[in-house]
Structure 1
């Protein structure tokens, strides 16, 4: 088992790609295509004293780290991908033993963005490259950095929605092991390119803050077992349960006013919307049909019996019982996926 022939590595800051996944990037690049997406330029990174002159020449931390990223990606034999937009480094602060954004984090920072905006940024690159696998940090971001955790969540969501395998870098043996030795020279050259942030000392990396970290001799990756949309068997069960909800609700919503109507509407909306929240449009369609079918049979009763007329009288409770489940069904079934949202935004820009 390997990571694939066309892999997109998604990271938060320059140097993460080499420190975390350098051996994997170089290995994939030897026989396939490895692309690197960095969501920020690490604007909050400190700079080693010996790189102060380079910092002034570059015109700032972001420009310097961007140039270093170019050198590192080239050394690994990969391709750097520019996103349509880029967010700022959130920095990091320890609060009560947990990592969080810096106290003076800006509105442009990665952690200040909505989940949807971060996912759409990654989605745009995925749509352009069409990789057969995505690689990023684990759920904790390696060591808790908030930007890393945001990137992890976005990549996992995109992989789940588009059916692309996602691998996360982990510390213990898992699904894929990538040895350093065959690509050690490339990885060391890439590490050296990030001279503002670190220095290679033997088999260790010494970070700008003085922390010493051994260069991993083997990189381990775990396949993310992302939740999958509801299967067809469950979809059928959802549809049958929805029929029961529709029938019981139609007979019971007038039983104890107003709570009969409230409970009936809650059950109807819940059975229709919940499958879509779990990622299954098909199950939401089945639920919508199940709930609305008995309502429609009563409303369209050609014989207009006294029983059907009393069940769906043309008053406020009757109209609510007809219209609220129908509106919930329209929203749940019609709401676009992230890929659909991206297409809508692209059309709006054009």
Structure 2
């Protein structure tokens, strides 16, 4: 049994290419295409797997693209369980415009899922007997935001720590009705949750308030180039991001969360886990396109952080 279960209800295949410039009507010839398995929980599992963690990715997928997604995960040796659906797994496309250095991302909403397919997914969640359950990513059509509450309750009912990376109504509903160990909003997602803009002090105060009110045990807020804060029962920890040249911000949040969950599952101190998570997020943005952080990037760029355990 894996120690960490990641859940992805609306996965994707991420295609990334370079193009000289983005123009209307004309054909734009792309190059350097890469194809990655994607979706929040899947990406978190990929990071944990690279760090040597005991993880299993559970996801809904269907059609030829669902088979392709499973094949891509197999190439990375990610332990996984695919829940078959009738709909076709979505394919997202992003390009880097070399003339400006900007990324353009096109993300479809994904397939419709049925109650029966969600029921099979939940059967897997209820059977899990490990330490952490991570729900991350968007919800597919036909799936109520209440599914996150159901997942949280199933996890806590088995004694697992529930980790949430969501936004909007899913975030609000789950935090108000379920037991959450760790929640990871971005600054923008936290501002949406509280209903107003937050300066740096306000971010720390809002995160600490969530902990003090018992909404979550840990609140990690990612701040982009400014790093991240982590609120816990004894206060707030802030870690600045290293000054590096960003190549793409895609995948930074998933890299952050994957590294943090891995470190927490190993019993690391909270401050050390936050340092590692910020390092992983920074390592991801040094890679082009949809690539996640790599173990060697974390080790080589941030040797002053606690030494990573050897991969088994």
What range is the shorter-chain TM-score in?
0.3 to 0.5
Bigger helix fraction? 1
Structure (1/2) with the larger strand percentage = 2
Q: Which has the larger radius of gyration?
A: 1
